Amino acid sequence: MIESVVESEQENVLLLPTLKLDRVYDYFIEAVGSGLASRPNLQRWVEIQNLIDDAKNKDIDSLRILKAYRYP
């Protein structure tokens, strides 16, 4: 009885779309564009973007980790 209720409730759960941190990072970089380098207060972002650009030949999971990592 309980199992059937749980199963029916699980089927009715609305799955909301989510974005992973690497996709949020990509959106931010695309939205800011070339203006990133021209703003002194965003210099750290430029450094991080350079690290990610240097790692373009790495596997996709490594790139996702770089984009989601909380830099000091």
Q: For 15-68, what is each residue's pLDDT tens digit?
A: 777 888 999 989 988 888 777 777 777 788 888 888 889 998 999 998 898 888
pLDDT at 6 over 80: no
- Of the candidates 27, 71, 28, 23, the residue with the CA atom closest to the CA atom of residue 51: 71
Q: Which residue has the higher pLDDT, 71 or 10?
A: 71
Dihedral-angle region of residue 8 (phi above 0 means left; psi in -120 to 50 means alpha; beta otherwise): alpha
Q: Is the pTM of this model over 0.85?
A: no
Q: Give just the sign of the alpha carbon dihedral 27, 32, 36, 39.
A: negative
In contact, 22 and 68? CB cutoff 8 Å: yes
Q: Do you know the residue count of the chain?
A: 72
